[in-house]
Structure 1
Amino acid sequence: MHIALGVRTAQFPIDNFLGASGKTDATISAAADRERTQVGELAFSGNPKRRGGEWRIRDQYSNRHPAWASTAGFPTTYDASDPPYVLVFKSGKSFHARFSLESSLRKMSPASRPKGILSNNIGIAIAPHEFVNSLLVPQTSRLDEFEIQRDATVAEEFDPKNISDGRKRIIASVIRRLGQQTFRRKLISAYSGQCALTCCKTPWVLEAAHISPYRGIKTNAVSNGLLLRADVHTLFDLALVAIEPTKLVVRVSKLLEGSMYEALDGKHPVLPAKAALHPSVAALEYHYGLFHP
């Protein structure tokens, strides 16, 4: 079974939505739940010879996406009086699959559902926050925000005449990355000079990581920090590595599967000897809420 989507038009820019401009096919990974524990691939294709270039989602008979399976509540028989609407959301660079029955859509106020969804069942539109939240679609993740900003950054041209400026920039970058020195010194003392997750003791790569974002001097409390190796700090900031607050165990995103960081999953962090210096549960809960499973 294939799901027909329609021909690309200015009102239905399907190839732009998929990031496949100029192409006739695209495969994406779309999560079926908020925690991204169920992820399936969706293969899209546009056939120039079929109805003027109609796009469709392939392989939904033999390889049904978990969001549209009977176990997820998707109807096993088609009811023309209350048909299911197949929905694909794009949040940042992440995709999410959901469905909704027409009866559920009609119960929503016009302002809380995508414009024109009931009058034209094929289209692309901005989804109101109420609609997104009702279907438990997560907002843009830290990783998405990072990649969007990275792609929007215009690379600076290298000027070999400014080698001295380049050296200064490198040194300044290292100093900034080490963090505010007082905060870092406190964390080095509390964690006995070793990374909380890897036990690395090389001082030049140990950084002061904020658990919840820096918002003034009060957030420089040891209980809002972790001493982390530089690479792990980056992954922690992107919420690809986190500490589960209830069990105090390290969790590693599936996006890092196959990497050396996978070995950290399930381990207990090495915390300060003094309980008063342990990470704040509230701060860990905040960060874990951003974790990209």
Structure 2
Amino acid sequence: MISSADIRLFEKYRDAGPWAFGSKTKPAVVGNEDKQHYWRIYRELIDACEEALSEIAGGERLYVEPQRYSEDRGSRGHRPKDLWCAVRNRQSEDFNKMPQIYVIASKRGLELGFAVSISEAEYSDAKIKQQNRIIIPQIHRKLPISGTVIERLDAVVGNSPEWHVNASTRLLQDDDGFDAFQLPSDLFKSLKKEPLSRGGGAICRIFPASVFHEGKEVDLKLAFKEALEHFAEIQLSCAPSAPDRKFVIEQTKVAEFSEDEELWADQGDDADQINSDDVDTDQKFREVAVRQGQAKFRSNLIGLFDGKCAITGCAVAVALQAAHIVPYRKKSKLDLGNGLLLRADIHTLFDMFLLSVSPDDLTVHVSPQLEGTEYVALHGKKISLSHANRKGPSRAALRWHFEQLVSA
């Protein structure tokens, strides 16, 4: 049970600074009795999560992870603060262990629910922020916006004043983002439309400090079990798949190459067959990052494809780029048979093997990773060839590229 005495403990030390639990050089502000009280709350959070998880279907695919906390030294910085515990998907490191079903005890009261992702405002590491901007859209893509699971959740949340759909965790009434959405499906739809994902989004049940001071106690295990029953199926559906892991790794490489001042865009190679020793798979990441191409190569491709994207037909010159079908390690003369004229966004998808062209009938194939996007409409479309380019690009090059998409 979480009671008024537990919430009052957080309130008692709400203004305590760093090292309130003491250090080698500074005496403790928090007494031993209160340290033990903090520890009991911490252990109760863990026990409640573990017991609740053991009683739900599919629980073996999830695990409990509490915050790091020392009985004697407290949390990071040796100061008392919010205590939390979370249930996460197993093998979710590629998604930075997001999303999560969580519980937080603090001076604000008790909060538990489902966090889609952690707002980047809570991170100071710029590298983690950049990585999450790659990961979070993949999570958003998996969130349900129709079907029985989300309909059932909408009904629960929409009919209870205790549940809130907020822009992030740890919000109180009157905070910006509190009750930002009426229903979970509204939140999920909004997240899917974000042009740049910075994290956040929480569906939570809140017991404010005031209700505890009125004598209310909360059966933490029961409350957390209800949260698991509401959210476990959605959380499990958001676990990273093998293609997700590959996508995150490749996009992370792109971000790393983007910071490299020595980047160069490789040139095509004239060949009837593809020699695997000559293939540099990292080169595609350089090309995505740099996206500069060679002026002469691009100019020749514009002429060869009548100034139009081979896939979309876009004729806006500034949006067209020279794409190499096979990225080569060694530099050589520019081979137009190893090139396609593509619109910028199509070029990026092509380089990431999320879109390819069949060497047999020259039709576009779209990766399942793009399911639910506007790019699916391109699947099965035949690329455009000009009268001067009826032969089209090298079939050997296309076959190599197509095999990368198929094997992903």
TM-score, normalization by structure 1: 0.47
Say which structure is richer in helix: 2
Say which structure is richer in strand: 1
TM-score, normalization by structure 2: 0.36
Structure with larger Rg: 2
